[in-house]
Structure 1
Amino acid sequence: MPVSARRSQPVRARGFSMVETLVALFVLAVGVLGVTALQATSLRGGSSSHQRSQAVLIAYDLMDRLRANRSAALNGDYNRAVDDDLPSGDGAPPLADDDLAEWFNTRLGLLPGGAAAINCGADGTCTVSVVWDDSRAEAGATARQFDFTSEI
């Protein structure tokens, strides 16, 4: 076969072109960004869920303390508003202030910006409201609240 006959045949392309490679990299980058956003949303949701679980356990713990010292709870020794000063235990009777001080320092400290309101009526119905800062989990959400009402 003469040399001129070989040149007239089309040249076969091999491998990927630069445009195909760039499109593949773009698609891969968009996929990685989507997975990253999904992971960040999952972490925020998990953190918020953990804090809510902590709030539930903390409220149940206080309700058990109220049941253990029922007479003081019915007298209103445990009652407090969210913005009241933190109790300081002195080790002397009445023991409700010691119980509250220990609860606020060890339990409520598990929540970011944790605060609580307690209201026990003479009929034996008590409400514990736990409030915490949940701004990391959801933009614009500054506080969450869990209310637990039970008879002691």
Structure 2
Amino acid sequence: MKKHAPSKGFTLIEILIALVILAVGLLGMASLLLNSMQSSQNAYQRSQASMLAYDLIERMRANQEQAVTTNAYTLAANATATSDPECTNCTPGEQAQTDLHDWRAALADGIPEATAAITRSNDNQYQISIIWQEAGNLTTDSEGNTVTQSFTLRVDL
């Protein structure tokens, strides 16, 4: 009677199964990394919206007389670009125009393709709304409209 030697090492099928399991694990890790990067970018945009809204409020407080007595700091959502008066000793009205011009440039740099609206009610109550589309998030509602993100700040100067 002949004894067969026990088989040693992996068979080809075991190696292929191990490779499939490894590939699935690597794909899962890549997916997690991609979701993490996307969430990080979205959080960055939300923090930029908050910072920019508070920045404009501080600009209004620095030019408070103009902010509470005129509509110089209001802005429609579909408004055209604000021109820069390029003044050195600005009047309060020119300073408000400079503030909006600089703020809109910072908004375009911080959150590309974002829109903003600034409304004023009563003498010293302002609402700043910033609306943007998050990168990689093309979800739609039941009516087929693209879902956007927004940040709204209401303040009394």
**TM-score bucket (shorter structure):** 0.7 to 0.9
1:87 aligns with 2:82: yes
Amino acid across the alignment from 1:103: W
Amino acid across the alignment from 2:3: Q
Paired residues, number: 145
> Structure 1 CA distance, aligned partners of 2:47 and 2:106?
16
Q: TM-score, normalised by structure 1?
A: 0.87
1:28-63 residue CA offsets vs partner (Å, 9 max, x unmatched): 110000000010011000000011001100000001
Coordinate RMSD, CA, aligned: 1.6
* Equivalent pair of 1:117/1:130 in contact (CA under 8 Å): yes
Runs (4+) of structure 1 exceeding 3 A deviation are: none
User: What are structure 1's unaligned runs of at least 5 residues?
Assistant: none
Q: TM-score, normalised by structure 2?
A: 0.85
1:61-99 residue CA offsets vs partner (Å, 9 max, x unmatched): 001111111222221111111101111021354221111
User: What are structure 2's unaligned runs of at least 5 residues?
Assistant: 140-145
1:68 aligns with 2:67: no
Matches within 5 A, 1:1-150: 5=1, 8-74=2-68, 75-90=70-85, 91=87, 93=91, 94-95=93-94, 96-134=96-134, 136-140=135-139, 143-150=148-155
Counterpart of 2:143 in structure 1 is none
- Give the stretch that moved more between structures: 92-101 or 57-66: 92-101
Say which one has the larger Rg.
1
Amino-acid identity (%): 30
